[in-house]
Amino acid sequence: MEENTASGLREQQLRRKRIRKIKSTIVAGVAAWILITSVLTVTLLVKLLRMENRLNELAQSIISVEQVVEDVNEKSAPSPEESADTSDMLGNAQGLLDDNAYKEGQKQKVYLTFDDGPSENTAKILDILKEKNIKATFFVIGQEDEKSKELYQRIVAEGHTLGMHSFSHKYNVIYESLEAFSEDVAHLQSYLAEVTGITPEIMRFPGGSSNQVSNTDMTEFIRFLNEKGITYYDWNVASGDATSQVYTPDELVENVMNDVGRYETSIVLMHDAANKSSTVEALIPMIEKLQEMGVELLPIDENTTLIQQIPADSVK
């Protein structure tokens, strides 16, 4: 009897040991699983952060390339001397420049225009324009975040002119073919109409109408805009903020003031992308100097003199 009792006790003890061992094994397994999962999670987060940094670097590289391209296009826009002997279309442009030359006693009109927004700099520019009671023109690209939608709406609500500058602003995409260009324009126009209630009817070609990067003859795009009743505007005064050279705010102001005095109508090219803080800093002194000249500062409308590197009416 005692032997049976002792044997039963040993079996219970052995069973308890086995149960404890199984529990320890399970706990150790769970702990190891949690540790491995944590290590993998941390590793994945580190890799994601590195990838995000690389994507940001790539995005900045793309912006720099586009700035260089726009710089080249600004410099390649026909000057009065260069355009006189080129082609019939550029000859027409020369005639327009001659007609627009400032003559003493004329009232000069200046149109401040901003490309590539909206961004946080757009909001700062709008604040300055509101403070100075000045209306301007914004040639925008497609941004679908809520903040950008608010800025599109604010541009319209505060009496500025809303123009198109392509949805994607990717030169190799929009200029690949007429079909690609027309789809991009239609996308941006309908999107802005949906967001603001206003259907834009003016546009600025990325790089200008005489840019040298388009894979398709620019006259095809001009003909398309003519058929759609969309008016495009280039510029005859460049601040220089699109170039690869870094200008100080004072130099941007000087660049504009050096050219504005030459024309009866000046359309000034500036940019309000996120990396254009110098443009924001230059805006107040630029406005003040222009006001000292006695010019009219206006938003582009149907009465604005056309400034086009390739005149639209030369394309049939």
pLDDT digits (tens, 9 = 90+) for 291-301: 999 999 999 99
Strand 231-232 relative to strand 237-238: parallel, antiparallel, unpaired?
unpaired
pLDDT per position as a tens digit, 9-32: 677 777 777 777 787 788 878 888
Is the domain of 34 the same as that of 84? no
Nearest to 281 by CA among 128, 161, 63, 68: 128
Q: Give the number of domains in the chain.
A: 2
| 99 and 57 housed in the same domain | no
Report how far residue 215's alpha carbon sits from residue 200's, in angstroms, rounded to the nearest whole number. Answer: 26
Are the beta carbons of 308 and 233 closer than 8 angstroms? yes
Q: Bigger pLDDT: 120 or 43?
A: 120
Domain finish residue from 75, 96, 116? 75
pLDDT of residue 91: 44
Is the per-residue pLDDT at 103 higher than 80? yes
Same-domain check for residues 137 and 245: yes
- What is the pLDDT averaged over residues 108-116? 98
Please state which of the ranges 2-11, 51-60, 131-140 shows the lowest mean pLDDT.
Answer: 51-60
Long-range contacts of 184-189 (CB under 8 A, 24+ apart): 185/224, 185/225, 185/228, 185/230, 187/142, 188/140, 188/141, 188/142, 188/164, 189/164
Give the domain-ending residue among 75, 92, 117.
75
Read off the CATH number of the domain in which 121 is found: 3.20.20.370
For 191-244, the pLDDT digits (tens) are: 999 999 999 999 999 999 999 999 899 999 999 999 999 999 999 999 999 877
Tell me the pTM. Answer: 0.72
pLDDT on residue 233:
98
* In a shared domain, residues 64 and 15: yes
Nearest by Cα to 118 from 253, 11, 309, 276: 276
Domain hosting residue 198, numbered range: 79-314
Q: Are 193 and 132 in the same domain? A: yes
Q: Which two tokens mark 228?
A: 């759609």
DSSP 3-state of 162: strand
- pLDDT band at residue 79 using 50, 70 and 90 as cut-offs: very low
Q: Do residues 85 and 51 share a domain?
A: no
User: What's 312's DSSP letter?
Assistant: G
| Encoded tokens for 180 | 């690609």
Task: Say yes or no: 158 and 293 in one domain.
Answer: yes
The answer to whether residues 271 and 242 touch, using CB atoms and an 8 Å cutoff, is yes
* Mean per-residue pLDDT of the chain: 85
pLDDT in tens, 163-197: 999 999 999 999 999 999 999 999 999 999 999 99
Q: Helix or strand or coil: residue 203?
A: strand
**Do residues 85 and 218 both lie within one domain?**
yes
Q: Does residue 98 sit in the same domain as residue 240?
A: yes
Res 97: pLDDT:
59
Residues 6+ apart with CB under 8 A from 217: none
Given 41, 75, 109, the domain boundary residue is: 75
Greater confidence (78 vs 304) lies with 304
In the predicted structure, residue 1 carries a pLDDT above the cut 60: no
235 and 126 in a single domain? The answer is yes
Counting residues of the chain whose pLDDT is more than 90, the rounded percentage is: 65
- Asked whether residue 47 falls in the same domain as residue 98, the answer is no
Same domain, 197 and 224: yes
Tens digits of residue pLDDT in 266-295: 999 999 999 999 999 999 999 999 999 999
Q: For the residues of 90-106, what is the DSSP string, one character each?
A: HHHHHHHHHHTB--TTP
